Structure 1
Amino acid sequence: MMRVWSVFVLILMLAGIGCQGETEKSGKSPDDETTNKGPEVPQPIEPAFEPLAPPTAQEIENGWVQLFDGETLFGWEANDAGQEDAVNWTVENGVITADSGKPGLLLTYVPFADFEFRCEYRLAEDGNSGVFLRTVPNPTNPAVDCYELNFCEVHEGFPTGSLVARKKGKQPLLNADQWVPVRVIVKGTTIQAWFGKEKVLDFTDESNHILKSGRIGLQKNQGKIEFRHLALKPLGMESLFNGEDLSGWRVVPGSKSEFQIKDGTIHVTNGLGFLETEQTWADFVFQVEAITHG
């Protein structure tokens, strides 16, 4: 054991002498040498915006509608479906994505008039996309057929945050390759838009081409575009039930059901039956919360 230890000490001494000699020859101490720290590890980039989330239970109660279920394109249709080189709209991991095909729109089946809309988008660098508001299915002139909220950092005339052919946004917004929350209020002739918490657009349509209603369209123009957390709250909706009685409603003759008001809700018991409004409606969005027993 002693021999091994002696040899080990001798080796250390020789190593020390060798190092000392090299230091003296070079005229540099170890402290003078640049420390090799290895490659720098890139630090994660903090997101520029607070992420959106799907509507909460309270928001749904207040009228918010989830436009995208996170799994399918139910409620949406492409305006170039079946055409050659159509946009390749897909859904994966709760995200609507498109990255090839000619320019096209993914449209809601339902048209809307006044509403608040929100979503998150992520656009590839040098990409071109946007959200079309109150649009016709196949718009050809953004100054007449729709209100096009542009997502395009390289657009010379109407960069990100602008309404194409109508009003230039507040300032250039450089947000490529990151999730950007967008909120839009469309009411009457006015359109307001926020990117994150910053208001970037306040527009009033004073033209001869005011659009009172239309669909919402997600555009793929150039490059990869992704959308998620799409939700909408119709504005100016009328409540059909006052929570106290059946004013404005009538029981359809021949119904066996009994309709009673309990704790602000309509309870239906005792067989089949129908309750209908006294008024008639044309185009509308109907929202209701219901529960069945049995």
Structure 2
Amino acid sequence: MRIQYITAGLVTALATFSAWSEPKTVDEGQWINLFDSETTYGWRNIGDVNWTVDNGVLQSAGGTGGMLHTTSQFSDFELTAKIKVNKGSSTGIVFRASTTGHPTENGSSIVWIKEASNGKGDWHDIHVVAKGGKVTATLDGGSNRNVVTGTNERGYIGILYHHNGGAKVEVSEVKLRPLALTP
């Protein structure tokens, strides 16, 4: 009987101390993997596109259009992503995005992405820095003239999908580094 009381006491103490532990936080400058290569956890779908994960790659499957966006909003950050778009397709990464209205009309910033120019369906490397009112983006290491700078100061990160026959968008990586954290 005494052992049962000791065991119950230890379980209670462990549960109490576990509740006191601080949640993990991200410090300014640390990279966050927004895509875990296994699930769509942390992302929300708008539209009728079915997003799946296969062999560590996020893929669009069917549907007529929409946006897959993070469940958290961001303001000042550096973002890197690897995206592949098949022939005849186009996509975009939206940031500081609103979930109401069309991204081209609601103050969102957008980097438009098409099939790789070599026609081989290669992965694009996207790099975005958003700080204050200034947004810069590069595509495959060069300047990208397909950037629409919006007016929103904070918002979601999203991946757009436009149905165009056999359109397919694939994402293997999305990382974000906060540049300024405020409570």
The aligned counterpart of 2:108 is: 146
State whether residues 66 and 162 of structure 2, in contact with CA within 8 Å, keep that contact through their aligned partners in structure 1: yes
Is 1:70 aligned with 2:29? no
Higher Rg:
1
% same residue: 27
The aligned counterpart of 2:88 is: 126
Choose between structure 1 and 2 for higher RCO, CA contacts under 8 A separated by at least 6 residues: 2
State whether residues 107 and 215 of structure 1, in contact with CA within 8 Å, keep that contact through their aligned partners in structure 2: yes
State whether residues 134 and 213 of structure 1, in contact with CA within 8 Å, keep that contact through their aligned partners in structure 2: yes
- Structure 1 residues 230 and 125, CA, compared in 2 at 3 Å: closer, same or farther? same
Alignment of structure 1 residues 232-271 onto 2, 5 Å: 232-237=176-181
**1:254-293 deviation digits (Å, cap 9, x = unpaired):** xxxxxxxxxxxxxxxxxxxxxxxxxxx3xxxxxxxxxxxx
The aligned counterpart of 2:18 is: none
Question: Unaligned regions of 5+ residues in structure 1, if any?
Answer: 1-59, 81-85, 154-172, 239-280, 282-294
The aligned counterpart of 1:4 is: none
For 1:190, give the aligned amino acid: K
CA distance in 2, matches of 1:93, 1:141: 30
Is 1:221 aligned with 2:165? no
The aligned counterpart of 1:193 is: 137
CA distance in 2, matches of 1:122, 1:188: 29
Give the counterpart of 2:125 among 162, 178, 181: 181
- Structure 1 residues 199 and 184, CA, compared in 2 at 3 Å: closer, same or farther? same
Offset at residue 62 of structure 1 (A): 4.2
Give aligned pairs, total. Answer: 153
The aligned counterpart of 1:49 is: none
Give the counterpart of 1:103 among 65, 70, 73: 65
Secondary structure in 1 aligned to 2:144?
Answer: strand
Secondary structure in 2 aligned to 1:145?
Answer: coil
Give the counterpart of 2:153 among 195, 212, 219: 212
Structure-1-length-normalised TM-score: 0.48
- Structure 1 residues 184 and 224, CA, compared in 2 at 3 Å: closer, same or farther? same
- Structure 1 residues 175 and 74, CA, compared in 2 at 3 Å: closer, same or farther? farther
The aligned counterpart of 1:14 is: none
The runs of at least 4 consecutive aligned structure 1 residues that moved more than 2 Å come to 199-205
Offset at residue 61 of structure 1 (A): 9.1
Offset at residue 152 of structure 1 (A): 3.0
Offset at residue 187 of structure 1 (A): 1.2
The aligned counterpart of 2:22 is: none
